[in-house]
């Protein structure tokens, strides 16, 4: 019985501690950042305001992270936080002549959410297709996209002409595009088969 009372008075269970784990929140926030930024940027046109809103969303998200339902996708939860913050932003902007109506905001939100989901799918398809490249092609793409690398620097490193690197990369890009189209089984906007 004494054990039960000790357990009953324990205010922080291991689950509560996990819910308030800063590293877990930071990891999830970083993974969601591109989608979150795309969403806020699609709704707010002033880059300074976008940065301020993203900071607010990160702070509010952390303050409410303990109540986050782990059965829901984190991205969707954080986009809900962002939506509420953007609505507050526009409410404060109502005195400005070009403020958007709530109906327009809801429509924009739907478009932004769909676009970010599509981008996630394309990113997954790209990663899968990169894994299917022949090792030399994968290595070339990896070298090219190292920080600060250019076609010229890769050509110099491999002791080949820059035009050969460009031709090889164009061939690889075409393979990747075809693979992504097959993976996605749909059209990629602006790209014809």
Q: Assess whether pLDDT exceeds 50 at residue 11.
A: no
- Specify the length of the chain in residues: 193
Q: What is the pLDDT of residues 56-74, one digit of tens each?
A: 999 999 999 998 888 888 9
Q: Please report the pLDDT score of residue 98 as a whole number.
A: 54
By the 10 Å C-beta count (0-12 exposed, 13-18 middle, 19+ buried), 177 is classed as middle
Is there a shared CATH topology between the 14-113 domain and the 120-188 domain? no
Q: What is the pLDDT of residues 28-39, one digit of tens each?
A: 999 888 888 888
Give CA–CA dist 107/114, Å, rounded: 11
Which of 63, 57, 113 is closest to 87 using CA atoms? 57
Give CA–CA dist 159/150, Å, rounded: 14
Tokens of 2: 């004494």
Q: What is the DSSP letter of 146?
A: S
Looking at 1.25.40.10, 3.30.420.40, 3.30.390.50, 1.10.10.10, the CATH number of the domain 120-188 comes to: 1.10.10.10
pLDDT over 90, % of the chain: 24
Give CA–CA dist 165/151, Å, rounded: 6
Q: What is the DSSP letter of 100?
A: P
Q: What is the pLDDT of residues 152-169, one digit of tens each?
A: 999 999 999 999 998 999
Give CA–CA dist 167/149, Å, rounded: 17
How do the domains of the chain map onto residue ranges? 14-113, 120-188
The helix/strand count (H/E) of the chain reads as 9, 0
CATH class of 14-113: mainly alpha
Is-contact 165 158, C-beta < 8 A? yes
From the centroid of its chain, how far is CA 177?
Answer: 21
Q: Please report the pLDDT score of residue 144 as a whole number.
A: 87
């Amino acid at each position: 019985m004494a054990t039960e009372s000790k357990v009953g008075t324990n205010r922080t269970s291991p689950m509560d501690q996990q819910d308030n784990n800063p590293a877990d929140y930071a990891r999830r926030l970083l993974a969601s950042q591109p989608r979150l930024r795309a969403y806020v940027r699609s709704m707010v046109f002033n880059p300074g305001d976008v940065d301020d809103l993203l900071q607010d969303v990160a702070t509010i998200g952390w303050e409410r992270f303990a109540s986050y339902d782990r059965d829901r996708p984190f991205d969707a939860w954080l986009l809900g936080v962002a939506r509420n913050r953007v609505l507050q932003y526009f409410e404060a902007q109502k005195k400005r002549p070009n403020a958007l109506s709530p109906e327009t905001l809801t429509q924009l939100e739907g478009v932004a959410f769909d676009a970010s989901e599509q981008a996630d799918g394309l990113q997954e398809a790209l990663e899968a297709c990169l894994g299917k490249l022949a090792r030399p092609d994968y290595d070339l793409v990896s070298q090219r996209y190292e920080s600060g690398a250019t076609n010229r620097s890769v050509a110099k490193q491999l002791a080949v002409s820059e035009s050969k690197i460009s031709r090889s990369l164009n061939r690889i890009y075409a393979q990747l595009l075809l693979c992504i189209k097959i993976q996605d089984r749909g059209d990629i906007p602006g790209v014809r088969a």
